[in-house]
């Protein structure tokens, strides 16, 4: 048996021999990572540097873009090294650090989207009382809610997994995954499983419930309101809804391929599905919000054309 004191590294078994294609894969991945860095950093800078964008909606967007940078950085540099490596191993401390980064990214993403839906609910359903409700102190509190509860929940999850005695060190993925580590445990993992269920309820189910409730209210106002109200709701809520669906789609595939036997699925497809929520969301959100938010789109165009934005003040 291999116990926890003897396991000094994990082997990532999902990598396969790419022969002469590994440099092509490396170029593709580094290109995607540069796109993610460039687009998210650009929008963060635009929001921070333009006082006209210092509104709750854009501040929550800025938090979302920061999370995209954080999540992709928890994956891509490590992935690039592994593509070039012939021995796909990772030390135990780094593996748990990556688990923490990936799980925190997912939890913050759901919480951030829930706070954004609440903000849109106030703006559309209570427009006259919006500024009274969404004060600067409340915005600061909501940003703390986006980051602190997921941080605590994921920290406890990672700590519980790190204390397990392990009887193996093979992870059948291209990055470290908490559920894969728990499956290697020598003894009963009921405490880990129960806590993960509770943590998932708090960091996923509660935000999704908030989103569902707020959109039911928004739809009610849209159906009973004027054409202008409906147009405002569509323009501000469409990027958020598409982002939520895209991220949920990726998380669903990650859970599916982690929990069930996917041996009949080609290895390359399994890898793509496991990386979807860590890759496509950070690429997708800047494009979606950059194109649909008129102020951001206008400032981006001015920056690209080298003209001065009227929103800079």
- What is the rounded CA–CA span in Å between residue 298 and residue 176? 40
In this prediction, residue 312 carries a pLDDT of 45
Residue 202 has a CB neighbour count (10 Å cut-off) of: 16
This prediction's pTM = 0.88
Six token digits for residue 3? 């116990």
- What is the rounded CA–CA span in Å between residue 93 and residue 131? 46
* Helices and strands (DSSP H and E) totals, the chain: 12, 3
Q: Is 19 left (phi over 0), alpha (psi -120 to 50) or beta?
A: left
17-50: b or e for each residue (b if 16 or more CB lie within 10 Å)? eeeeebeeebeebeebbeebbebbebbbebbeeb
**Kind and range of the H or E element at 90?**
strand 89-91
> What is each CA distance from 310 to 7, 39, 52, 215, 236, in whole angstroms?
59, 21, 10, 33, 22
Angle, CA of 203, 208 and 213, to the nearest 5°: 135
Digit-by-digit pLDDT tens for the chain (313 residues) are 344 446 788 988 887 766 677 888 889 999 999 999 998 998 998 888 888 888 898 999 999 999 999 999 999 999 998 888 878 889 999 999 999 999 999 999 999 999 999 998 898 888 888 888 899 999 999 999 999 999 999 999 999 998 888 888 888 888 898 888 888 888 878 888 888 888 888 888 899 899 999 988 888 877 776 777 677 777 778 888 888 888 988 888 888 777 776 767 777 788 888 888 888 899 988 888 876 676 777 777 776 666 554 444 4
Question: Mind listing the domains of the chain with CATH numbers?
Answer: 9-305 (1.20.1070.10)
3-state helix, strand, coil in the chain (%, to 5): 75, 5, 20
Six token digits for residue 19? 């022969």
Pairing status of strand 170-171 against strand 9-12: parallel
- What is the rounded CA–CA span in Å between residue 117 and residue 218? 10
Query: 3-state DSSP call for residue 258?
Result: helix
Query: 3-state DSSP call for residue 1?
Result: coil
């Amino acid at each position: 048996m291999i116990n926890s004191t003897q396991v000094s590294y994990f082997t990532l078994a999902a990598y396969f021999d790419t022969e002469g294609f590994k440099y092509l894969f490396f170029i593709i991945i580094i290109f995607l990572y540069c796109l993610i860095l460039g687009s998210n950093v650009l929008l963060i800078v635009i929001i921070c540097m333009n006082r006209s964008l210092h509104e709750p909606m854009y501040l929550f967007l800025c938090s979302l873009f920061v999370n995209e940078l954080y999540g992709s950085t928890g994956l891509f540099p490590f992935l690039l090294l592994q593509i070039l490596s012939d021995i796909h191993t990772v030390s135990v401390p780094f593996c748990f650090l990556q688990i923490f980064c990936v799980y925190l990214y997912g939890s913050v993403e759901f919480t951030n989207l829930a706070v954004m839906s609440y903000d849109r609910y106030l703006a559309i359903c209570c427009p006259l009382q919006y500024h009274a409700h969404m004060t600067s102190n409340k915005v600061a509190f909501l940003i703390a809610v986006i980051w602190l509860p997921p941080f605590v929940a994921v920290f406890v999850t990672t700590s519980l997994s790190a204390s397990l005695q392990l009887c193996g060190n093979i992870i059948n993925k291209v990055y470290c995954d908490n559920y894969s580590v728990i499956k290697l445990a020598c003894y009963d993992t009921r405490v880990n499983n129960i806590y993960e269920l509770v943590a998932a309820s708090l960091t996923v189910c509660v935000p999704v419930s908030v989103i569902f409730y707020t959109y039911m209210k928004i739809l009610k106002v849209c159906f009973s309101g004027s054409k202008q109200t409906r147009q405002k709701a569509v323009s501000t809520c469409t990027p958020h809804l598409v982002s939520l669906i895209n991220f949920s789609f990726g998380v669903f595939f990650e859970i599916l391929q982690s929990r069930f036997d996917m041996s009949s699925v080609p290895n390359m497809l399994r890898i793509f599905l496991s990386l979807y929520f860590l890759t496509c969301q950070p690429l997708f959100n800047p494009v979606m919000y950059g194109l649909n938010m008129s102020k951001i789109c206008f400032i981006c165009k001015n920056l690209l054309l080298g003209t001065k934005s009227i929103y800079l003040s």
